[in-house]
Amino acid sequence: MIRPKVTLEDVARLAGVSTVTVSKVLNNQGRISQATQQRVRQAAERLGYVANAAARSLRGKPSRMLGMVVPEMASPYFAELARAAADVAGRLGYDLGLFTTSRSPDRERERVGSLLGGLVDGLILVGPSGSRQFLRALEQVPAPVVLINYFGPPTHLPVIRAENYQTTTALLHHLLALGHRRIAHISGAPHSGQGAERLRAYREVMQAVGLWQEDLVRPGGFTQEGGMQATRQLLALAQAPTAIFAGNDLSALGVYEAARERGLKIPHQLSVVGFDDIPIADHLSPPLTTVAQPVQAMAQLAVELLLRGLEGERLSEFVQEFPSRLVLRSSTGPPSG
């Protein structure tokens, strides 16, 4: 059953023309007589011909596919980013492929390089763990590359990011105003730029008000499981926190779980805040206080930037920071003690 593959030549033979003619017809190039067009199209149809993307791209033709590389496939935050990007790309006649290359830096470099080597016309890198060297290499690449939520050392690549520091500060002041003194933080994934920003803001705010305590910070890896483990530890402390700032909503979910496990009522006995405003946040009980980012707008700009790059525009030195927005819901209240 396995017919190896149908090439231009097979179609040409069946239609009784040359490969060049077939190529032209299928690409609507040059002037070909209606009669020939008819024959060629029928032959192609009958053989189930599909152009070989590799050969095409080798020849320099754009693939009309954009790539997006994310640290994690299943995270609702990245899923939303991907969906939004896929939407705008689709409207503009492009497809979007989603990749995750968090395995090894070597693999990442190689995979990204090969993606850029003709498979995709442009690439969006989300939360790049990016060694300097890697990013410098990317700057050299002929295809457009856009960084989303990159917080590392300066780069010439265009950067789109959401504001994290100020918003985290506001979030914490909300907790402080409520009267909380022992506010814990469940920090994010080790190499996440956003996680680092949030942690930095947390440390500086807490130090500024003289409430900084080393042991109130626990790593949660941005996962529900991590959030739960961290919360268990925090609640077992002699001086347990009255509020927890989870690095993202997923880990906040873990906080909810651990709190329930311990019979603690939110927000009466424990206040919780998250980050990202994933779809579920509003449906938790109680609904979670968190921070929303204009994910749609970010994704849209990223795609637009890519397309502009494709048209030859130089994108370097572009940085756009989007404001984030506090979403106050019912998971925070004054401390009970």
**Cβ neighbours of residue 60 under 8 Å, at least 6 residues apart?**
none
**103 touches which of its own copies, DNA, none (CB within 5 to 8 A by kind)?**
its own copies
Question: Binding to its own copies by residue 80, rule CB under 8 A?
Answer: yes
The residue among 118 and 188 lying less far from DNA, judged by its C-beta, is 118
Nearest to 156 by CA among 300, 308, 319, 307: 319
The residue among 59 and 103 lying less far from DNA, judged by its C-beta, is 59
Across-strand partners of 67? Answer: 97, 123
Q: Which stretch binds its own copies (CB under 8 A): 29-37, 92-100, 202-210, 215-223?
A: 92-100
**238 touches which of its own copies, DNA, none (CB within 5 to 8 A by kind)?**
none
Kindly list the residues in this chain that would bind DNA in the complex (CB under 7 A).
5, 7-9, 17-21, 23-24, 26-27, 29-33, 35-36, 49, 51-52, 55-56, 58-61
Q: Could you tell me the smallest distance in angstroms from the CB atom of residue 64 to DNA?
A: 12
The residue among 121 and 197 lying less far from its own copies, judged by its C-beta, is 121
Q: Are 281 and 249 in contact (CB under 8 A)?
A: yes
d(CA 157, CA 316): 5
Considering only residues 148-207, where is the footprint of its own copies by CB under 8 A? 156
Question: Binding to its own copies by residue 117, rule CB under 8 A?
Answer: yes
Question: Which residue among 8, 40, 44, 101 contacts its own copies (CB under 8 A)?
Answer: 101
Q: Are 118 and 96 in contact (CB under 8 A)?
A: no
E-state strands within the chain: 65-70, 95-100, 122-126, 145-148, 159-162, 183-187, 217-219, 243-246, 271-273, 290-292, 319-322, 325-327
Question: HSE on the CB side for 209, CA within 13 Å?
Answer: 17
Token pair of 331 as six digits: 């998971």
Using the structure block, give the residue that is written with the tokens 């690449």: 141
| 283 burial level (CB within 10 Å; 0-12, 13-18, 19+) | exposed
Q: Could you tell me the smallest distance in angstroms from the CB atom of residue 274 to DNA?
A: 45
Question: Which residue among 18, 29, 33, 95 contacts its own copies (CB under 8 A)?
Answer: 95
**9 touches which of its own copies, DNA, none (CB within 5 to 8 A by kind)?**
DNA
Nearest to 175 by CA among 272, 99, 105, 44: 272
Q: Could you tell me the smallest distance in angstroms from the CB atom of residue 66 to DNA?
A: 19
Token pair of 222 as six digits: 């941005």
Question: Which residue among 88, 115, 183, 270 contacts its own copies (CB under 8 A)?
Answer: 115
The residue among 157 and 217 lying less far from its own copies, judged by its C-beta, is 157
Q: Could you tell me the smallest distance in angstroms from the CB atom of residue 112 to DNA?
A: 15
Q: Could you tell me the smallest distance in angstroms from the CB atom of residue 177 to its own copies?
A: 27
Helix (H/G/I), strand (E/B), else coil: 236 = coil
Q: Are 328 and 277 in contact (CB under 8 A)?
A: no
Q: Could you tell me the smallest distance in angstroms from the CB atom of residue 21 to DNA?
A: 3
Contact residues toward its own copies (CB under 8 A) are: 1-5, 48, 50-58, 63, 65, 72-74, 76, 79-80, 82-83, 86, 90, 95-101, 103, 107, 109-111, 113-119, 137, 139-142, 156, 224, 253, 256, 279-280, 283-285, 316
